[in-house]
Amino acid sequence: MDNDNSQKNKQAKSVALSDDSLIGAGGELHQIAGGTHPALTTNQGVALSDDQNSLRATSRGPTLLEDFILREKITHFDHERIPERIVHARATGVHGFFELTTSLKQYTTAKILTEVNEKIPVFTRLSTVAGGAGSIDTPRDVRGFAVKFYTKEGNWDLVGNNVPVFFIQDAIKFPDLIHAVKMEPDRGFPQSATAHDTFWDFISLTPESMHMVMWIMSDRTIPRSLRMIEGFGVHSFRLINDKNESTFVKFHWRPKLGLQSTIWDETIKISGADPDFHRRDMFEAIQAGNFPEWEFAVQLFTQEQADKFPFDHLDATKLIPEELVPLQVIGRMVLNRWPNNFFAETEQVAYCPANIVPGIDFSNDPLLQGRLFSYLDTQLSRLGTSNFNQIPVNAPKCPFGNLQRDGHMQMEQPAGRVSYEPNTLSESSPRETPSGSFYSKAVSETGEKGRIRAESFADHYSQARQFYLSQSAYEQSHIASALVFELSKVEHVHVRKAIVGHLRHIEENLASRVGAGLGLNTIPDAPKATSPVKNLEPSPALQIIGKMKDTLEGRSIGILIADGSDSVSINNIKKAATKAGATVKFIAPKVGETRLNDGSIIEADGQLAGTPSVLFDAVAVLLSDEGVKMLLTENAAIDFVRDAYSHLKGISVDNGGLTLLKMANIEHDAGVVDSRDEHAFIAVAKTRFWEREKYVRTLA
Ligand code: HDE
């Protein structure tokens, strides 16, 4: 889909501006480059001779109301902003395609899940939840994972997250949850953070959120890159086949680059060094042709199987462990085209979980049911019209038409006198298609009407415990430390204590670690659980560390250099890292020319003060004696190596680099290697040195 202004520009009169100068404000001459440019016009198509000066009564007199050019331009500008999303306002959107590799014909009639080896266009938007549109990319937060498939049978939106469960079971609690997590209404902060009183107060009173709390306190919510997150449809959906048989399904996305997270201290520093870290990372990867890819997988299960699960699959605070229902990979998604225009596409795209296609249907998950209402409703205030489906990024790519009419910003001009159905007056107006079109699965429901939470939703802790116990020891200490960090920002002691009480149901040891981290003398009592906590089998698939790939693909290496650095080591390391798939960037005290020991010149990609090591996966520090002398009094250089070390990264050093490491009090360990051995560097660059962590920070 190409929705740039080319149409408009094609219509615009072309004006040759060859020898070009314009008289600007104050009468100076502004030279502009020669070439052929379309005429700059008003929205009515009137070409402008002067876009620099408004119309004045005299050169120093009042501006005239008559100036329609000024008025039009300012009026349009005044209305440039539209309401941002209430949640998921901050995001990165990319076009791409989906390709099915294994047909699910046995289970569904949906062409998107049965026609293999076809490239179906998608638009994918990856977001944070709590912050506003201008907030940082790297808070501790869930990531939205929304995919719009432009299928042959209409748009299918899979609007998921990078965590497979949710905080609440019933849609009616969503406004409360979001009000609690967003900035507090009296003070207007914190922006984009769960570490404050109202969030934890709400959580302390909502035990069903405890499973999700384990996920958000894990490193899943501080990803290294949006290209390295998993995605989950969260709810159960139904697939329906040509015999009208229904099978339940959960949808999963698994990143080809593996799963990778940052370390909390690193994340905080990235937020300062580059608030657009994830958006830039995606933009640069797409520009370089390193297109991110995800496997698409399903978990399929029947009602009979579901009846035997030790939880209710309609409860969005529960997941189905892979060990119980294995994932079947059935396709892949590749993101390969950056939008032409951020506002037109990433901002105006309107996802809706109710957008499904024939052969797919909803489950009774009460959270999903509420979502089916909310998304269409929110687009009306965000995009201002019921015709938002006509915006190119939202329009289906298959033929579509109906007898809905008029409304704000109607772009279509349906001809003829018929705008109703059925009718006898038109032979060409759209009609129902009795077979092969959308149908809802006939399901019999029994029971009493009422505001009732199902008893099968009562177990709030067993899967939280399972998640915690499934993690490696490093990950468990990150979860405990994240809880200590967050709760230490909570002013109300009773709220801190209430959370620690809940943790006792998950794991006594977790509660005492967090309690100790908060300086509590005694560990508070656990609240009464609505259902006994079960000991479920650990699920190693829930870890992150085990899913980090042994590769440098998609990763980046920073090489710190200064005048006199050794060109041979630099070239060897650059060559080896590039060969291993990494992007290499040079950091130097100045961005201009850095002269190496053989007289060759490198133009650095980043200036040291503005390019800290948190922006890289591993670093090399290659400095001459004279270079390191200059940097010993440079705090940014000391921080560069200290942070790389304390963020458990591989480091390659020559003699100069080693001197800097000594100045920074860094111990030599297995992750620090000699720059002459570039292969050793590649090996250490692919991993993090978890065993180093106990020497560099106190974890709970
Ligand atoms: Fe959303 N959610 N949500 N949500 N959600 C929105 O829709 C809502 C929920 C998710 O990139 C809003 O267009 C309710 C679960 C994503 O544009 C809004 C409930 C999951 C996105 C809304 C939920 C999500 C949204 C705000 C509880 C994971 C961003 C703007 C019943 C499965 C989509 C908009 C994009 C956005 C409502 C819960 C994912 C207000 C009422 C669970 C990825 O309609």
Instruction: Tell me the per-residue pLDDT of 343-399, one tens digit each, with 9 for 90 and over.
Output: 999 999 999 999 999 999 999 999 999 999 999 999 999 999 999 999 999 999 999
Other C-beta atoms closer than 10 Å to the C-beta of 345 total 22
Q: What is the pLDDT of residues 93-146, one digit of tens each?
A: 999 999 999 999 999 999 999 999 999 999 999 999 999 999 999 999 999 999
HSE, side-chain direction, 13 A CA sphere, residue 54: 16
Provide Rg for the chain, Cα atoms.
29
Residue type, 679: H
Q: Which atom of ligand 1 is nearest to the CA of 175?
A: 41
Query: Do β-strands 154-161 and 143-151 pair in parallel, antiparallel, or remain unpaired?
Result: antiparallel
Contact 251, 232 (CB under 8 A): yes
* Angle subtended at Cα 433 by Cα 431 and Cα 436, rounded to the nearest 5 degrees: 160
Q: How does residue 32 score in pLDDT terms, banded at 50, 70 and 90? A: low
Q: CA 394, CA 404: separation in Å to the nearest integer? A: 17
95 is catalytic: no
**DSSP-assigned beta bridge partners for residue 609:** none
Three-state DSSP at 344 gives helix
Q: What is the pLDDT of residues 139-169, one digit of tens each?
A: 999 999 999 999 999 999 999 999 999 999 9
Pocket test for ligand 1, best of 166, 375, 388 (most atoms within 8 A of CB): 375
From 161, 355, 394, 572, the catalytic residue: 161
Q: What is the pLDDT of residues 570-602, one digit of tens each?
A: 999 999 999 999 999 999 999 999 999 999 999
Give residue 153's pLDDT: 98
List all residues whose CB is within 6 A of at least one atom of ligand 1. 85-88, 91, 125, 127, 144, 146, 159-161, 166, 171, 174, 234, 316, 351, 367, 370-371, 374-375, 378
List, in order, residues 6 or more apart from 328 with CB less than 8 Å away.
102, 297, 298, 299, 300
| The two structure tokens encoding residue 173 | 């609690």
Instruction: Answer whether residue 25 shows pLDDT above 80.
Output: no
Q: CA 438, CA 110: separation in Å to the nearest integer? A: 10
Pocket test for ligand 1, best of 86, 87, 335 (most atoms within 8 A of CB): 87
Contact 100, 114 (CB under 8 A): yes
From 88, 235, 252, 647, the catalytic residue: 88
Q: CA 646, CA 295: separation in Å to the nearest integer? A: 33
Q: CA 659, CA 643: separation in Å to the nearest integer? A: 16
Q: CA 325, CA 329: separation in Å to the nearest integer? A: 13
Q: How does residue 35 score in pLDDT terms, banded at 50, 70 and 90? A: confident
Residue 263 phi, psi (nearest 5): -110, 140
List, in order, residues 6 or more apart from 78 with CB less than 8 Å away.
none
List, in order, residues 6 or more apart from 520 with CB less than 8 Å away.
496, 497, 500
Q: Which atom of ligand 1 is nearest to the CA of 93?
A: 11
* d(CA 129, ligand 1 centre) in Å: 9
241 is catalytic: no
Instruction: Answer whether residue 12 shows pLDDT above 70.
Output: no
| The two structure tokens encoding residue 240 | 């329906």
Other C-beta atoms closer than 10 Å to the C-beta of 185 total 8
Q: Is the peptide bond before 190 cis (omega within 30 degrees of 0)?
A: yes
Q: What is the pLDDT of residues 282-333, one digit of tens each?
A: 999 999 999 999 999 999 999 999 999 999 999 999 999 999 999 999 999 9
Go through the chain and tell me how many residues it has.
700
Q: What percent of the chain has pLDDT over 70?
A: 95
Instruction: Answer whether residue 509 shows pLDDT above 60.
Output: yes
* d(CA 331, ligand 1 centre) in Å: 24
**Can you give the pTM of this predicted structure?**
0.94
List, in order, residues 6 or more apart from 80 with CB less than 8 Å away.
none
- Token look-up 């638009």 returns 123
Three-state DSSP at 674 gives strand
* d(CA 79, ligand 1 centre) in Å: 25
List domains and CATH numbers for the chain. 2-78 (4.10.91.20), 91-390 (2.40.180.10), 460-545 (1.20.1370.20), 550-696 (3.40.50.880)
Q: Residue with the nearest Cα to atom 32 of ligand 1?
A: 160
Nearest CA among 391, 374, 392, 372 for reference residue 383 = 391
Q: CA 424, CA 634: separation in Å to the nearest integer? A: 83
Three-state DSSP at 645 gives helix
Q: CA 636, CA 608: separation in Å to the nearest integer? A: 7
Contact 646, 265 (CB under 8 A): yes
* d(CA 263, ligand 1 centre) in Å: 27
* d(CA 350, ligand 1 centre) in Å: 11
DSSP, residue by residue, 130-186 = SS-TTS-S-SS--EEEEEEEEETTEEEEEEEESSSS-S-SSGGGHHHHHHHHSPPTT
Q: CA 478, CA 649: separation in Å to the nearest integer? A: 17
* d(CA 78, ligand 1 centre) in Å: 28
Give residue 31's pLDDT: 47
